[in-house]
Structure 1
Amino acid sequence: MRFRGRGADLGLLDEQLRSVAEGRGATRGRAVIMTGRRRVGKSRLVQEFCDRSGLPYVLFQATRGRNAAAERADFVSAVVSAPLANAELVAGLATADWNQALRTAALAAADDTPSLVVIDEVPWLVEQDSEFEGALQTIWDRYLSAKPVLLLLVGSDLSVMEALQSRDRPFFGRATKMTVQPLHLADVQEMTDLSPAEAVDALLITGGFPEIIQSWRPGSSRPEFLAEALSNPLAPLLVAGELSLLGEFPESSRSRAVLEAIGSGERTHGTIAAQAGNSGALPAGTLSPILNTLQAKRIVAADLPLSTASDTKNKRYRVADSYLRFWLACLERAIPLTERGRSDLALARVERSWASWRGRAVEPFVRESLERLLPDEHWPQVEAVGGWWNRQNNPEIDLVGTDRRPVAGEVVFVGSIKWLEDRPFDRHDYDALARSVLAVPGAASTTPLIAVSCSGTAPDLPLAMAWGPDDLLRAWR
């Protein structure tokens, strides 16, 4: 299948490789820690980069839960079979520990021409052998960094990959970090051949995960795509969610129960505790560490109201990527219907919840898009875009533009999001926004009002600015 998108990511890797080839760094070699959510396409990106480079490379992928000695033997086998300049010299070398195994890569690499060494699923190696990190540091410092080698360390467990770079760990300060994000709106729009508004729907459904987007037939509408996917129990749209969760949590784990509670729409600490508990609410001492771990893994995000007043205890939780959020809210319960051949009922179930789900799911995407568009000549002071709510969620403001976060010095604008195909942002929506503006700390009756709408705005509304799907797409080009 043709590789599409990821131009910026490939460009970053190309720049690192040029630094190696030209000897621009403090050391001859360079190391990159590449991380990102599971199934976001890191391995495919690395393979494409290696193939395009035209250089000799070795690519080793660890296996979770495997015996460390077997992993070391496989690593050496990968080095021996790779087209590295001196690969034949390391055949048959002993690998009693990771120092010896990793040194084979340094011995096999050429002294005068660049080569690539890729180790995928690094967290599993750290889990298998507590000596791996120390060995990596030793071999890098003494051998690999002295050669024109680009070392790519790839992993999906964000907390482990970030810990590799922490001050108290052996490899601290030796690598740059690269985070592979899901494909963005412009990539999704190009791959699906949809209008900007339809591409937003496609992004929300797929989360920007390449394997799901590639299953979207170009030009197919959202209902057509869902009808086709829900008729096939093996469709990537249905399968990827469960595989992602199983890669992180057992089905019976409390973390999984907490995540499913958030995915079903619970947003506050209290309601999540009530939903996730078996016979009663989860105690705060149990729930808080779970939420912290989910945030550290970038699976859950916690939003705070944005205004000139600090309100650190009024958090609202959400599943960070929209695909997993969609899977938990709409697809998980539809899968049994698909498996027994009733895709019509599965589609009807998804359609019933689609409008309300999308209305909430589009909000963080719109805020992120506006933060890419701003500041501009019209709003030069806007550096942060968030939302605001009180503890009763009455009112709940979709958009607040400020000069900074987490506590603003100035509220620049207040706004509303209306993402409906059949109705523009109208006078009723404007009046509701105008009535609520004074509830936002730092806002005044003269604070400009703005709107983001899928279907435009009614005429003659005194809005300071309005953005639509075309504008959001422009933010990602």
Structure 2
Amino acid sequence: MGEFTRHCGAPVVYFQAARQAPLADELATLADSVATSDLPDATVAADAAPRTLTAALTLLAAALPDDEPSVVVIDELPWLLEQVDGGAGELQRVWDTRLSKKPVLLLLLGSDLAMMEHLTGPEQPFHGRATEMVIDPLTPADVARMCAADPFDAFDAYLVTGGLPLVAQEWEAGWSVRDFLDHSFGTSTSALVVSGGRVLDSEFPETSLARRVLASIGGRGERTFSAIQSDGGSDVLHPGTLTATLRMLRDKRVVAADEPLSARSAPKNVRYRIADPALRFWLAFVEPALAEVDRGRPDLALARVDRGFAAWRGRAVEPVVRDALSRLLPDATWPHVDQVGGWWPRTNIPEIDLVGTTWNRDVQLVGTIKWRQNPLKADDVAALSTDATSVPGVGAGTPLVGVCPGGADTEGFATVWGAADLLDAWG
């Protein structure tokens, strides 16, 4: 947003709300943002002290020019509206009566996706009045270009940076994961170190139940409801409380709930994972290292990554691979693959990394993901063939596929996708 406002060529008002700030302070800050902007009539807001949101927005409208375009950015809108009963209605009314009559681009931003979507839902103030746009993180292909990385290293860079531009821009061309982490763990103010904390602190207080659940899923790798519930030892979470927390985290797109994909539905075998790419690596490796980084011991943080990165990456890359194949398929080779997922039973043994089906859940392929530079071998084919017999809908003729950056030294797979093939999913 900063790049846009700097280069848009129009006068700009930028206001960012603060969570749980007193309403009087927020309204004064909004008026000051108008008064200190480059609007031609910004002085109308000088020394103003609006007491209501309507008054503050009316002041904004008075400062906007009638004869040239302008831009107004209200960042973290949900935090402003949570301080005002009926605030969304006030904003809608001032838009209809005053702001919409000006040549102004009004940008309403918020990191709380559930709340932002609510504002434009049916029977809500901005239903039919706004164009919605979700600003996603950089894709793996974006990161590859930004970091000048080859396909294999690009996925490493994506997994570590989460696709956050401010983090990725610190990754220099030719760096390995170790090089980047050596740089990032060397200072407590690096983009990687501060990014996850900012994301979490803006939405979830440190002592909240949501933080506990996120630490369980992202920090300790718990995936099942029962494992998350009992992760606190003797302090077992009440099922209803955990259900509500997981629902809230899913609504906010922070956590995802995956069901096994096969010819038979299995909703009771849901597995949870961190959906926000900015938090996956951060919760697993950065948050546990914050104290070490603060006291100048990046070596301890790096040692933790050395011990756990390979196993973590093997798991973390799976949803990224499935996303890529969901974009690439169907194609000429696999014209009937409409859904891509994985499969597992209640015991998690065996786990099948890839399952491709039609919309009617007719299994078209099963596959393995081996994220390594060494090629797939005949024993990988044999292991997949054995394990796949457990998947409902898989028969003797179901094709086997593989994903491996190192390719394959066997003809047992119908298709093998490498890292470069997957990058093509994002253009």
Asked if Structure 1 and Structure 2 have the same fold, meaning a TM-score greater than 0.5 normalized by the shorter chain, the answer is yes
Residue identity (%):
49
Q: Is the 8 A contact 1:62 1:125 kept in 2?
A: yes
Counterpart position of 2:28: 73
Q: How does 1:225-264 map to 2 (within 5 A)?
A: 225-263=180-218, 264=220
Instruction: Give the aligned length.
Output: 426
Whether 1:269 and 2:220 are equivalent positions in the alignment is no
Residue of 359, 376, 389 corresponding to 1:438: 389
Residue of 265, 272, 277 corresponding to 1:310: 265
Q: TM-score with structure 1 length normalisation? A: 0.84
Q: Which amino acid aligns with 2:415?
A: M
Q: Is the 8 A contact 2:338 2:356 kept in 1?
A: yes
Counterpart position of 1:474: 424
Shift of 1:88: 4.4
| CA–CA distance in structure 1, aligned partners of residues 291 and 50 of structure 2 | 48
SS at match of 1:466: strand
Residue of 458, 462, 468 corresponding to 2:412: 462
Shift of 1:359: 0.4
Counterpart position of 2:369: 417
Check 1:168–1:278 CA distance in 2 against 1; reply closer, same or farther (3 A cut): farther
Shift of 1:344: 2.5
Whether 1:116 and 2:66 are equivalent positions in the alignment is no
Check 1:329–1:81 CA distance in 2 against 1; reply closer, same or farther (3 A cut): closer
Counterpart position of 1:426: 377
Q: Deviations over 1:154-194 (max 9, x none)?
A: 11122221221222432222112111111111221112111
Counterpart position of 1:365: 320
With 329-338 and 284-293 compared, the bigger mean Cα shift is at 329-338
Counterpart position of 1:137: 92
SS at match of 2:314: helix
Q: How does 1:313-324 map to 2 (within 5 A)?
A: 313-324=268-279
| CA–CA distance in structure 2, aligned partners of residues 82 and 232 of structure 1 | 34
Q: How does 1:37-436 map to 2 (within 5 A)?
A: 46-89=1-44, 91=46, 95-263=50-218, 264-275=220-231, 277-404=232-359, 408-421=360-373, 423-436=374-387
| CA–CA distance in structure 1, aligned partners of residues 251 and 416 of structure 2 | 35
Check 1:237–1:453 CA distance in 2 against 1; reply closer, same or farther (3 A cut): same
| CA–CA distance in structure 1, aligned partners of residues 67 and 357 of structure 2 | 52
In the alignment, structure 2 segments of 5+ residues that lack a partner are: none
Shift of 1:136: 0.6
Q: Which amino acid aligns with 2:221?
A: G
With 286-295 and 61-70 compared, the bigger mean Cα shift is at 61-70
Shift of 1:94: 6.1
SS at match of 1:227: helix
Q: Is the 8 A contact 1:136 1:171 kept in 2?
A: no
Check 1:67–1:338 CA distance in 2 against 1; reply closer, same or farther (3 A cut): closer
| CA–CA distance in structure 2, aligned partners of residues 341 and 139 of structure 1 | 52
Q: Is the 8 A contact 1:115 1:150 kept in 2?
A: yes
Q: Is the 8 A contact 1:249 1:255 kept in 2?
A: yes
| CA–CA distance in structure 2, aligned partners of residues 354 and 326 of structure 1 | 9
Counterpart position of 1:30: none
| CA–CA distance in structure 1, aligned partners of residues 263 and 204 of structure 2 | 38
Q: How does 1:2-41 map to 2 (within 5 A)?
A: none
Larger RCO, structures 1/2 (Cα 8 Å, 6+ apart)? 1
Shift of 1:339: 3.5
| CA–CA distance in structure 2, aligned partners of residues 255 and 468 of structure 1 | 37
Shift of 1:323: 4.0
| CA–CA distance in structure 1, aligned partners of residues 291 and 352 of structure 2 | 37
Q: Deviations over 1:415-446 (max 9, x none)?
A: 1100013x211111111111222322222211
| CA–CA distance in structure 2, aligned partners of residues 380 and 110 of structure 1 | 55
Shift of 1:462: 2.7
Q: Is the 8 A contact 2:32 2:45 kept in 1?
A: no
Q: Deviations over 1:224-277 (max 9, x none)?
A: 1122222333322222223322222233222211111111111000011110x3
| CA–CA distance in structure 1, aligned partners of residues 367 and 170 of structure 2 | 36
Q: Which amino acid aligns with 1:401?
A: G
Check 1:111–1:341 CA distance in 2 against 1; reply closer, same or farther (3 A cut): closer
Q: Is the 8 A contact 1:437 1:445 kept in 2?
A: no
Check 1:253–1:382 CA distance in 2 against 1; reply closer, same or farther (3 A cut): same
| CA–CA distance in structure 1, aligned partners of residues 35 and 61 of structure 2 | 12
| CA–CA distance in structure 2, aligned partners of residues 339 and 83 of structure 1 | 40
Shift of 1:316: 0.2
Q: Which amino acid aligns with 2:423?
A: L
Q: Is the 8 A contact 1:416 1:452 kept in 2?
A: yes
Shift of 1:309: 1.4
| CA–CA distance in structure 2, aligned partners of residues 342 and 61 of structure 1 | 35
Shift of 1:396: 0.9
| CA–CA distance in structure 2, aligned partners of residues 202 and 400 of structure 1 | 26
